[in-house]
Structure 1
Amino acid sequence: MPDPAVYRPAPGTIPESPGVYKFRDPKGRVIYVGKAKSLRQRLNSYFADIAALHPRTRQMVTSAGSVEWTVVSTEVEALQLEYNWIKEFDPRFNVRYRDDKSYPFLAVTVGEEYPRLQVMRGAHRKGVRYFGPYAHAWAIRETLDLLLRVFPARTCSAGVFRRSAQIGRPCLLGYIGKCSAPCVGRVSAQEHREIVEGFCDFMAGKADPLIRRLEKQMTAAAADLDFERAARLRDDLSAVRRAVEKQAVVFGDGTDADVIGIAADELLASVQLFHVRDGRVRGERGWIVDVDADVDADGNDRDGLPLLVENFLLQFYGDLAADGDAGGPTSSVPREILVPVLPSQDAGTHDEMVDWLSALRGSRVSLRVAQRGDKRALAETVARNAQEALTRHRLKRAGDLTARSAALSELGETLGMDVAPLRIECIDISHVQGTDVVASLVVFEDGLAKRSDYRRFAIRDKPGDDVASIAEVVRRRFTHQARAEAGERAEADSTPAPTPTPTPAGSGVPAGIDPTTGRVRRFAYPPQLLVVDGGAPQVNAAATVLSELGIVDITVCGLAKRLEEVWLPFQADPVIFPRTSEALYLLQRLRDEAHRFAITYHRAKRSKSMTVSALDNVPGLGEVRRKALVRHFGSVAALRRADVEQILQVPGVGRRTAEAVVAALAGSGGAGTDTVISS
């Protein structure tokens, strides 16, 4: 464990100016980013009395190997630089506000010529306007189904839209009046955009003008004895009112605000956010995060709640600006933000946070604590939601963590490992009688699946031989690891240890670290346990490859399906776990996940190889131009009706190829599979 006194900057070298600082570990990874009005006072506080620091702060400074800083002219610049570095380096001692689930949004692709209404999840994209988030996707679809009567905008995919335009017939929604069918020219692009803009205005809270307009039109139609139109307007009005009733009214004055509630203890914090637009709750979000590690200028830990509020405002609204938000009603910075406490007891920090938020919005933002009335009541409701979410998380985590810890401990003890296997990788092979042979590699960390590290392999050598396939995957997985470790050992043997100094990213960082960002590359860390799906032959093959590569610190085992036996390398008898063992259940989940991932890849590969089109045998026609032809005409059937001159309009297709296509399709006579090749 590094001693903070070793890398402490020399007295007088730290400037007193405002700035942003980074702590790096001995391998060059950024582990913490912070900002300060006075860099000298803040950084000196980390080294004054280590024993008096918060345990998380003490762990951070003892894990670090160097500290560096950047001077800025104002605290607003420091806020922006701190946000950029947190987003770039993802330091493990900084709080990162990631949603505890993927929230569905109602999205409008305003950047397209014919905007589309759809349900979307994940990161926000440019050219898309978002409404929500909603707790459930079915709630969005219910609301959208009601409003399509009044705003018959496009909801179909790009492929359906192009196909309808090519055949000259709209989809079902166009026939039943829930789409204005711009694909077949019933409305122009401008008229369709006006429909979409009306929908966006309604979702943005401007429902009252629409309701008054529909009431006026319905009365006028009834007065003109046009009862059919009056009935349609009545139904439209009813649909609008039902959609409005789904949104709870909390303020009668049309307030636009974000209300934040936080509940925290010494280790965890729960953050809840209610989006209020036009006086109605339009959506909510929740996060569970670790309490941050930071200290004030006097060396004491900073007050947790103001710091949590400051970090949340910085990251949440900074992410929205970075996403290029198109101005959705619950995504952009609102006019008013209600917080449980101000970001800092220091008025200067509060004013600079307000200036930064105002710059993001483009107009003045009010950041304050609700003191009385309806806003105080709603803030208390949001705080209660945060407290209940924290309680639920504690109960859930306690149960899950206990079971996972018991499983990992039992697994390590039974397999004779020195420590519990915190990272486990599992390999499975999938094929049908030796064809389309593939393999999967899945990763569990702390007993939970880490899907971002999953990998799949197409087997190259000896397809159909499961033992050889296992050996190939193990060799491909660990070859780079072995080279990296050998390089580090050679460098350590030939180079004396340098004196710890602040080391910028990219200069002398070890293997496994990205030299430009300082972040750990995936698979930079080997697993403690490697599991293969199979018995003694498969386990022996994997162990032999690891031995050839010089890797001796990874335990290998195999799980045989027949009796759920666990095999160790070159052992005559298997290890038998009790049927009620948590360790056995963990291995079964790992093996089943590897099997699922492998068979999904195998089916996709087999389906691709079995897909046959009448264009496959056309001489001189490759995959790129084959896709271009089908994309241009919509299907092989439509291509069969085209002549040579029409085919020549496809970019990249010459006359000889066009004549070959016409001849091939005429010769097939409609036989075979007219498969639409997706792009």
Structure 2
Amino acid sequence: MADPASYRPQTGEIPTNPGVYRFRDPHGRVIYVGKAKNLRSRLNSYFANPAGLLPKTFAMVHAASSVEWTVVGSELESLQLEYTWIKEFTPRFNVMFRDDKSYPYLAVTMAEKYPRVQVLRGERRKGTRYFGPYTAGAIRETLDTLLRVFPVRSCSAGVLKRAEASGRPCLLGYIDKCAAPCVGRISPEDHRALAEDFCTFMGGEARPFVSRLEKDMAAAVAELDYEQAGRIRDDIIALKKVFERNAVVLAEDTDADVFALHEDELEAAVQVFHVRGGRIRGQRGWVVEKVEDTSTPDLVEHLLQQVYGDEAGSPGRLPREILIPAEPSNLAELTQWLGGLRGAKVDIRVPQRGDKAALLSTVRDNAEHALKLHKTRRAGDLTLRSQALQELQEALDLPVALLRIECYDISHVQGTNVVGSMVVVEDGLPKKSDYRKFSVTGDAANDDTAAMHDVLTRRFRNYLQEKEVHAEAARLPGHQAALDAAVFGAAGASADTTTPAPRAKFAYPPNLVVVDGGLPQVNAAARALAGLGIDDVYVVGLAKRLEEVWLPDSEFPVILPRASAGLYLLQRIRDEAHRFAISFHRQKRGKAMTVSALDSVPGLGDSKRKALLARFGSVRSIKAATVEELMEAKGIGPSLATAIARHFSPDGDAGAANVPAINMTTGEILET
């Protein structure tokens, strides 16, 4: 890694004008492109204190070996130049939203002798009318349905020439999905009129065609031509299906693209709905890795740059309106730039109320589901799990494979109801049967580091005790099967064993302990293990704010790449431990808020309280019960029944004389 000080430019050399800058690596490749209103101020922020930079920025400045800049005349020019360079160099530290495909459109080549309907991507062609954009599956299904009503030519130029030469139509002509102008079944003028009708329908005017077909169907019925009437009926159903598929959601003159994002620290899911003529014509979505540490407004800016950057001279591609979840800081320049690409005004805004805000909420829900699905599939991928475990082992320089990882978290509200959680991952997958909860009391509940020390000490003290018990049990004859069943859950424990091995509560120890927190929590966990004499379990901490990985007594954290599978695994384990701790804390807090009158009875534990409630159904019935009735509950003996009756006596101790005396040896009620 290069030292940023080795290539830092002199402050006086950097202009204060707006501009665009590029960081290059030792091989001369551009690894980051950025823009700034003031180049000097922006570039100095990278070099003033490299140790205080965010993880991705720290990695970028140490991967680079030089920086260069270009001065421009305005912020609008910097926006244009930044997009041009990002497209040209595809820097690995910039957010990249595009994949290898553009949006598919339904196109009608009106400039040809026999207009052709086809699905097209990429650059627009002169003399061709475009409809969309659509998703790939929806556009082909729509085209297949419409060709039965508007049998416009859809074959290639080569197929058309062969049909004209042979005098026989292609397969589509035989199945009535092409009017076959190539063999003279329809004149070129009539075929062009058919293509015009197709374009009119795709432009949103569906009702005139449906009405005309309904009249034709009625006329066929009147002439008793039921076969023709049936065909027309099927055509009407097909048109209505297409019309319903692109249901009206906004006013019919609305042309808009609706964008929404759902993000976490490492990734962002993007969804876009394309509304044309008030109808949802298409939907597109993808997940992008947040290599660059950016806010939502910055993500929106990069998104619009990369989605619309190639649309110059294509007024149908850029809509009149773009609805976004957050305003970029340079909204005015972005609006001006996109307006120049479209050749007309573009309105970029965040909808606050009404139908458009409701549609944006729907798009946001789609983005949230897309990110969840992506993470689920990623977590279930065996290759990625193996890669994540290997990356962690190499990044932390551990000599053992990470077969088992345990993560710990502490949860409380201002020091009350302090709890700890332990979640377990084996081979990259959660093992929920080994999850554990801890209640933290006493002095350990006073701060997080003491609570973490207490939880780790209790967990591994139990492990050492179980280890000793199992070692003793293993030396007895005939106990190996019971030992295996207790530790590993193996079936077939020996039936003739007289002293079965105790049930394992904590299974075997982990290779790695992860704690939620920074250096103080990591050091507390390390002290707990050292105090128990355990030196073969490694400890790290994951600090939530910057996703830094801390080792015990280390001066600097380990910075994993933002797109690292290992960091993703650590983050997922940490989040699961936090969720488990929060759920236990809420359960404990809710239980503390519902104190029963039985809690104050001396000697009455939780199991016997439950037995009393199961027998009598309510505290009120328990208060009214006699000593003999109380003794009918499971586990309630004469002494405890007397104590309960005295406790609920209306006069307190004074009323104790009304409680009958009991022979504590025999349980016999004595006369008073």
Shorter-chain TM-score tier: 0.5 to 0.7
The one-letter code of the counterpart of 2:387 is S
The amino acid across from 1:380 in the alignment is: S
Alignment deviations for residues 197-222 of structure 1 (CA, whole Å, 9 cap, x no partner): 43233234332344455556667888
Partner of 1:92: 92
**Secondary structure, in 3 states, of the residue corresponding to 2:150?**
coil
| Aligned counterparts of 2:189 and 2:9: Cα–Cα separation in 1 | 63
Structure-1 residue corresponding to 2:281:
282
2:344 aligns to what? 363
Distance in 2, Cα, partners of 1:9 & 1:124: 42
Q: Secondary structure at the match of 1:319?
A: coil
Partner of 1:405: 387
Q: Is the 8 A contact 1:258 1:276 kept in 2?
A: yes
Q: Partners of 1:22 and 1:376 in 2: how far apart?
A: 38
Of all paired residues, the percent bearing the same amino acid is: 59
Does residue 1:352 correspond to 2:343, yes or no?
no
Distance change (3 Å), C-alpha of 1:53 and 1:207: farther
Alignment partners' CA distance in 1, 2:225 and 2:375: 62
- Residues 26 and 65 in structure 2, CA contact (< 8 A), matched pair in contact too: yes
Q: Aligned pair 1:255/2:246, yes or no? A: no
In the TM superposition, residue 193 of structure 1 has moved relative to its aligned partner by 3.9
1:461-516 Cα shifts (integer Å, max 9, x gaps): xxxxxxxxxxxxxxxxxxxxxxxxxxxxxxxxxxxxxxxxxxxxxxxxxxxxxxxx
| Range moving further from structure 2, 281-290 or 73-82 | 73-82
Question: Which whole-Å CA distance do the structure 2 matches of 1:56 and 1:246 have between them?
Answer: 44
2:172 aligned counterpart, secondary structure: helix
**1:293-304, aligned counterparts within 5 Å?**
293=292, 304=295
Q: Check 1:112–1:79 CA distance in 2 against 1; reply closer, same or farther (3 A cut).
A: farther
**Per-residue deviation at 1:292?**
5.0
Q: Is 1:340 aligned to 2:325, yes or no?
A: yes
Name the amino acid aligned to 1:316: V
CA distance in 1, matches of 2:60, 2:132: 37
User: Equivalents in 2 of 1:360, 1:101: separation in Å?
Assistant: 20
C-alpha change, 1:20 and 1:182, in structure 2 (3 Å) is: farther
Q: Judging changes above 3 Å, is the alpha-carbon distance between structure 1 residues 89 and 276 closer, same or farther for their aligned structure 2 residues?
A: same
Q: List gaps (5 residues or longer) in structure 2.
A: 395-400, 402-672
**Superposition CA RMSD, Å:** 3.5
Q: Aligned partners of 2:163 and 2:66: how far apart in 1?
A: 62
| More relative contact order, 1 or 2 (CA 8 Å, 6+ apart) | 1
CA distances 1:68-112 after superposition (whole Å, capped 9, x unpaired)? 122222322222222111111111111111349887654445565
Q: 1:150 to 1:56 in 2, by over 3 A?
A: same
**d(CA) in 2 for partners of 1:197, 1:326:** 20
1:5 maps to what in 2?
5
Distance 1:403 1:293, change over 3 A: closer
Alpha carbons of structure 1 residues 183 and 209: separation in structure 2 relative to 1, 3 Å = same
Any residues of structure 2 matched to 1:101-120 within 5 Å, and which? 106-109=106-109, 112-119=112-119
2:634 aligns with none
Task: Determine whether 1:61 maps to 2:46.
Answer: no
Aligned match of 1:319:
310
Distance 1:409 1:2 in 2: 22
Q: How does 1:447-596 map to 2 (within 5 A)?
A: none
Which whole-Å deviations, capped at 9, do the CAs of 1:500-535 have from their partners, x for residues lacking one? Answer: xxxxxxxxxxxxxxxxxxxxxxxxxxxxxxxxxxxx
SS of corresponding position for 2:262: strand
Residues 169, 313 of structure 1: alpha-carbon distance in 2 compared, 3 angstrom cutoff: same
Cα distance, 1:350–1:409 mapped onto 2, change above 3 Å: closer
Change (3 A) 1:369 1:157: same
- Is 1:170 the equivalent of 2:169? yes
Shift of 1:283: 1.0
1:381 corresponds to: 362
- Measured against aligned partners, the alpha-carbon deviations of 1:383-425 in whole angstroms (never above 9, x if no partner) come to 1111111111122223325444179789x9xxxxxx9xxxxxx
- How far residue 285 of structure 1 moved from its aligned partner, in angstroms, is 0.7
Conserved? CA contact 1:215–1:237, under 8 Å: yes
Contact residue 252 and residue 279 of structure 2 kept, 8 A: no
Residue pair 2:262, 2:269 contacting (<8 A) in 1 also: yes
- What's the TM-score, normalizing by structure 2? 0.53
Letter of the 1:338 counterpart: L
Does the 8 Å contact 1:126/1:326 carry over to 2? no
Distance 1:316 1:129, change over 3 A: farther
Residue 268 and residue 142 in structure 1: after superposition, are their counterparts in 2 closer, same or farther (change >3 A)? Answer: closer
Give the C-alpha shift of residue 188 in structure 1: 5.0
AA aligned to 2:44 is N
Return the offset for 1:25: 0.9
Letter in 2 for 1:142: E
Contact 1:18/1:73, CA 8 A, preserved across alignment: yes
Q: Distance in 1 between matches of 2:78 and 2:192?
A: 41
| CA drift at 1:239 | 2.3
Seen in structure 2, the aligned counterparts of structure 1 residues 215 and 21 have a Cα distance that, compared at 3 Å, is farther
2:5 aligned with 1:14: no
Determine the structure 2 residue equivalent to 1:394: 375
One-letter code of the match for 1:336? Answer: E
Query: Cα distance, 1:32 vs. partner?
Result: 1.0
TM-score when normalising by structure 1:
0.52
Match of residue 308 from structure 1: 299
For residues 622-643 of structure 1, what are the alpha-carbon distances to aligned partners after superposition, in whole Å with 9 as ceiling and x for unaligned? xxxxxxxxxxxxxxxxxxxxxx
Q: What residue is the counterpart of 1:238 in the other structure? A: 237
Q: How far is the alpha carbon of 1:158 from its aligned partner?
A: 2.6
Aligned to 1:40: 40
- Residue aligning to 1:30: 30
SS in 2 for 1:12: helix
**Which 5+ residue runs of structure 1 have no aligned equivalent?**
295-302, 413-418, 420-679
Q: Secondary structure at the match of 1:183?
A: helix
Give the equivalent residue in structure 1 for 2:150: 151
Displacement of 1:12: 2.3
